[in-house]
Amino acid sequence: MFILELYQEGVSIELATFNSVEEGREFISKLEGYRCVEEDGFLYESIKLDTIPNYLELEFNNNIVPITKFMFVGEGDIDVFWKEIPNLSMPGNGLVEGVTRVDAYAIENNDVKSYIENREKVFDEAKSYLEEKGFEVSRSYFGSEDGEAILYKEKNSNDWHFLTHLDPSFCDVDDVREAVDELLEM
């Protein structure tokens, strides 16, 4: 099952579920301002807010969903996201398929445990190395749009510096000390 989520300026509206993304696109594409654009191999879907009237009804399989521009809080475009959810009422075969949000990143369910373990290991190594170099270290920005990051400062300073986000590319480095040195040189 897939949830159709409309997102604008920090507010999410879970509108409906569909058996497939294709069915959901058939439904949402009935909105005049719906766009689906491919960039760099990714599909970006959005709806132009100014094309949504005060009130309209979208029909799908004899279900009528009211839509209004007043559902939204801002003036910008509305992002369209699809979230796959497992149907736990059906017998399973172990770990459910799909992705789990870890910080600001979508990680395949079969990789979540090892990703988190490695992420913590990489942070601990970076923190220890920075402390060896005489810095104080902070893990900051929990819950932010870009995810957690490592900040550092000299011990008797109030001036914190950004090192890196704890994103999948940093968490996949072969040599944490070398990566930290490269980031410090920037």
pLDDT reported for residue 65: 96
pLDDT reported for residue 136: 96
Task: Pull the structure tokens for residue 148.
Answer: 């957690």
Q: Tens digit of pLDDT for each residue in 81-122?
A: 998 888 888 888 888 888 888 988 888 999 999 999 999 999
pLDDT reported for residue 105: 86
Total Cβ atoms within 10 A of residue 124: 11
Q: Read off the pTM.
A: 0.66
Q: Is 27 strand, coil or helix?
A: helix
Q: Tens digit of pLDDT for each residue in 139-168?
A: 999 988 888 999 999 988 999 999 999 999
Instruction: Answer yes or no: is pLDDT of 186 > 80.
Output: no
Q: Please give the average per-residue pLDDT across 34-51, as a whole number.
A: 91
Say which residue, 143 or 36, is predicted with more confidence.
36
To 10 degrees, what angle do helices 112-132 and 176-185 make?
A: 60
**With left for phi above 0 and alpha for psi between -120 and 50, is residue 95 left, alpha or beta?**
beta
Q: Please give the average per-residue pLDDT across 18-28, as a whole number.
A: 95
Judge contact between 116 and 102, C-beta under 8 A: yes
Q: How far, in Å, are 10, 65, 76, 78, 107 from residue 72 at the CA level?
A: 10, 15, 9, 8, 29
